[in-house]
Chain A
Amino acid sequence: MGKDQRKEKMKVLMARFSLDGHDRGLLSIMNSFKDAGIEVVYIYFSDAKELAKVAEEEDADVIGITSSMGQHFYIASTLLKALNERKINAPVIMGGVIPTRDVPQLIEMGIKKVFGPGSAPRDAVDFVSGLSS
C-alpha cells in the first residue's frame, strides 16, 4: 500500500505475543477497528523478531499487542528492541490485564499508550484514528 493511500486507511498489526491464551479483548478490538475502516492484520504465537519482521513487511502504521498474564514488561522490552533493530517507528499500543501502577514504566520504555482493564474498544479506535489525522 502506498504512503498516500495509507493516510486514507490506517493499518494496524495486532499481535498476541508469546504463550498467552487470552484473546477475548483482542477479538472485540479488532472487530471495532474493522468497523471503523481500519485495516487489521493479526498474528499470534509469534516471538518479538517474527513480529518485527511482519510489521516491516506489512508496513503497519500501528502495532497493537496484548498481555493478560503479567508478562507486559517482558513483551514491551523484547518487542521494542526488535523493532529498533529494524528501525521501525510505528507506535506500539498495549492492552490486557495491566496494573495501573505499571503504566508509567511501560510508557517510559516506549509504549505509546496502554489500554488496561475497563478500556472500551472505542478508546483504541479513537487513538488510532487520531494518529492518521
Chain B
Amino acid sequence: MFSRKTLDRVNEMMKDWEKEVEEVYVKKLKFGSPQYTSESGIPINYVYSPEDAKDSEPEMPGAFPYTRGNRALGYQYMPWMIQLLHGYGTGEETRERTKYLIREGMKGYGETPAVLFAVDTPTHCGFDPDSPKARGMVGLGGVNISTLDDIHTLLKDYDLPNTRVADNIRFTCLPFLAMYVVYAEGRGHKPEELNGQSQNGLGNRCLTTNLPAPTPDAQYRLEIELIKYSCQNIKRWNHTNLCGYVFGEMNITPTQELGIVLSKAVDLVEGGIKAGLKPDEFVPRFSSQVHLGMDFFEEIAKLRAWRRMWAKIMKEKFGCNDPRSLQYRIHVHTAGSSLTSQQPLNNIARATLQVLACVLGGVQSMHTNSYDEAIGLPSEEAVRTAIRINQIVLHETGIPHVTDPMGGSYYLESLTNKVEEEAEKVRAEIESKGGYFECIKNGWLRQLLEKQSIKWRQEVDSGERIVVGLNKFKIEEKEEVPAFTIYQPEIEAEITDRLKRWRANRNNTEVKDSLERVKEAMSNYDNVEKAGILMPALIDAARAKCTLGEMMEAIVEVSGGRIYST
C-alpha cells in the first residue's frame, strides 16, 4: 500500500516516537506500559503506522473481496434496515407492538414493512400450548404460534409479497415455513411471491440453550431440507440465518464467533451441494445475525473481515461466480450480554456505541437493544429510544455519508487482517475436528461456550473486567425501571382455549393420515442427498390443519432427540 521510501521515513519517525515514550513516559513519569489486548486476545499497540497496514491490498467498496462493503454505494443509496426483534403473548399483542415499531421507524429496505418476530419457547421447541411441557411458558419471550389462525392474527394486516416476514424460530423452522406457505396460499399468494427469512439454525440454538431438540444429525438434514425447498420454491427467501449472536451471548470472542459461523456455513454449503444444488443457487440467500459487543474497533474489524473471508471462501473453496454469493449481507443484533440491569439508562450509551460500530462497519441491517432488556421485555418507550439511536446516527451526524470511513486507518486495516488470521485459526481447528456439526456431536463447541461464559464471570468477579454499574461505579439503586410484564396465566389459558377450538374444527382422520406421511417422509430422508422429500409432506400436513407441535412431534418421533445433551 505504501512505497519503500515512505515506509523508511515512517520507521524513522516511529523510532523517535518510541524513544520519547521510553525516555519521558517510562523513565521519567514511571508509566507502567500496560499491554492491551482486544476482546479476542489480539495484542494492541499504542499507535499504528503505515508499516502495520502495508500488507493490506488497496480495495474499493463493491469489488472483491468486499472488505469495504458489498456495493459501490453504501448508506448514501440505501440506509440500513432498522429491524427490532419483538413479540410476546398472543398474536394480537405482538401485532400491536409490530404496528407501533413500524410507526416509529422500523422498516426493511425501501418502505417494505419488516415483521421480525420472536416466538415463545414452546413454539421454538414444537410443544403445542396445551402440552404439559409448555406449562408456564406460553407467550413468554415471544408470541405463541401453533395454528394457521395464529399466523393470520399476526400478519392479517400485511400485503405478504411486500412484507419482510422473518421468524426467529429455533427448531420448528420447517413446520413453520410449511404453515406460512399454506397460509399465504389461502390468501392467494404463490410461494415464489413471498419475501422474508427462516432462522434455520437448529444446531446453534441447541448448543447455546440446551433446549429439547432433534439429534444433531437430524438437525443437519432439516437445515438442508429447508435450504433445498426454499431455493427451489421461494427465490426471495433468505433460507438460513447464520447466527453468531447466540454464541456471542455465551461470551465467545469476536474472532471465535466469526470462525464458528464460517465453519457452519462451510458444512451447510457442502450439504447443499450433496443435496443437488449449485452453490450459486443458494449461497446468495444466506443471511446473518452477528453479535456486536463492546470492543469497538475489534467489532468494526470483525465486520470488515467477515465480508472478506466469506468472499474468499465462497470463491476459492466453492467456485461461486455470482457476485451475490460473494457479498455477505450483515444483520447485527447488539449484544444483550453487554446490558446491565443496574443504572439501566447506561444501556442507551452502550447501544449508541454499538450502532456506531455497525455503521462504521457497513452493516445492512440492525436490531438495537432497548435499555430495559436486562430487566424484562422492553417497554414502548425503550424500543422507541432504540429506534431513535439509529435515526440520530442516520440523520444528525453525517456519519453515513462516507462509505467505509475507517478504510485506510492503519489501525483498522491491521486489526482487520489480525481478526481474519485469528478467525481462520478457529475455523481451521473446527474443520480439523470434523466440522461444525461434528463439533456439536462430540461436545467440543458446547465445552468452549461453557468455558467462555465461566471465564467472563470470573473476570467480572475479580474486577479484571470492568462493567460500569455492575462491578464498578455502583450506586444504591433507588428504584428500578419498571419491568414490562404480561399476565401470563391469562394469556396461556386464552391461547390453549383457541387451540382447543382449532382441534375441534378439523378432520382428524386427515390430520392423522398427513402426520403419518410426515413420519414416512422423515424415515426416508436419511441422507441429505434425498433432500426435498420432507417439505411437501409438511405442507400437506399444514393444509390438513395440523399444528406446529404435531408436525414437530412427527419429525422427532422418527429422528430421535428432544432431550439431547452434550
Contacts and interface: CB of A to CB of B under 8 A. Distances in A.
Interface of A: 16, 18-24, 27-28, 31, 44-45, 47, 69-71, 74-75, 78, 97, 99-101, 116-118, 120-122
A45 B564 CA distance: 11
Nearest to B565: A44
Contacts of A100: 477, 480
A122 to B, nearest CB: 7
Interface in B307-343: 337, 340-342
B285 to A, nearest CB: 27
Given A23-B210, A74-B135, A28 B453 contact: yes
Given A28-B457, A31-B454, A118-B340, A19 B133 contact: yes
Interface in B486-545: 486, 488-489
Contacts, number: 100
Nearest to B374: A117
A133 B122 CA distance: 42
Given A19-B121, A69-B121, A99 B375 contact: yes
Nearest to B460: A120
B488 A71 contact: yes
B380 interface: no
A118 B342 contact: yes
Given A27-B453, A70-B140, A22 B488 contact: no
Contacts of A71: 136-137, 140, 488
Given A27-B450, A28-B453, A71-B488, A19 B212 contact: yes
Given A19-B133, A71-B136, A120-B461, A97 B376 contact: yes
B341 to A, nearest CB: 4
Contacts of B483: 99, 101
Interface in B451-497: 453-454, 457-458, 460-461, 470, 477, 480, 482-483, 485-486, 488-489
B127 interface: yes
Contact of A19 (B125, B250, B340, B485): B125
A28 to B, nearest CB: 4
Interface string B112-141: 000000000110110100001111110011
B249 interface: yes
A21 B480 CA distance: 25
Given A21-B205, A24-B453, A99-B376, 6 more contacts: A19-B211, A22-B209, A24-B249, A28-B457, A47-B133, A69-B141
Nearest to A72: B136
Contacts of B453: 24, 27-28
Contacts of A97: 341, 374-376
Interface string B129-173: 000111111001100000000000000000000000000000000
A66 to B, nearest CB: 12
Contacts of B121: 19-21, 69
Nearest to A17: B136
B26 interface: no
Contacts of A28: 453-454, 457-458
B140 A45 contact: no
Nearest to B139: A70
Nearest to A28: B457
Given A117-B375, A121-B457, A18 B137 contact: yes
Contacts of B374: 97, 117
Contacts of B210: 16, 21, 23, 44
Contacts of B377: 70
B250 A24 contact: yes
B563 interface: yes
Contacts of A122: 461
Contact of A118 (B122, B137, B341, B461): B341
A116 B376 CA distance: 12
Contacts of A23: 209-210
Interface in B171-217: 205, 208-212
Contacts of A116: 341
17 contacts: A16-B210, A19-B133, A19-B212, A20-B137, A21-B205, A27-B454, A28-B453, A45-B563, A47-B132, A70-B141, A70-B486, A71-B140, A74-B488, A99-B480, A117-B341, A117-B375, A118-B342
B137 A69 contact: yes
A74 B492 CA distance: 12
Contacts of A47: 132-133, 135
A70 B485 contact: yes
A74 B136 contact: yes
Contacts of A16: 210
Contacts of B461: 120-122
A45 B212 contact: yes
Contacts of B250: 24
B470 A118 contact: yes
Contacts of B251: 24
Contacts of A101: 480, 482-483
Nearest to B481: A99
Nearest to B170: A21
B252 to A, nearest CB: 11
B520 to A, nearest CB: 28
A100 to B, nearest CB: 5
Nearest to A118: B342
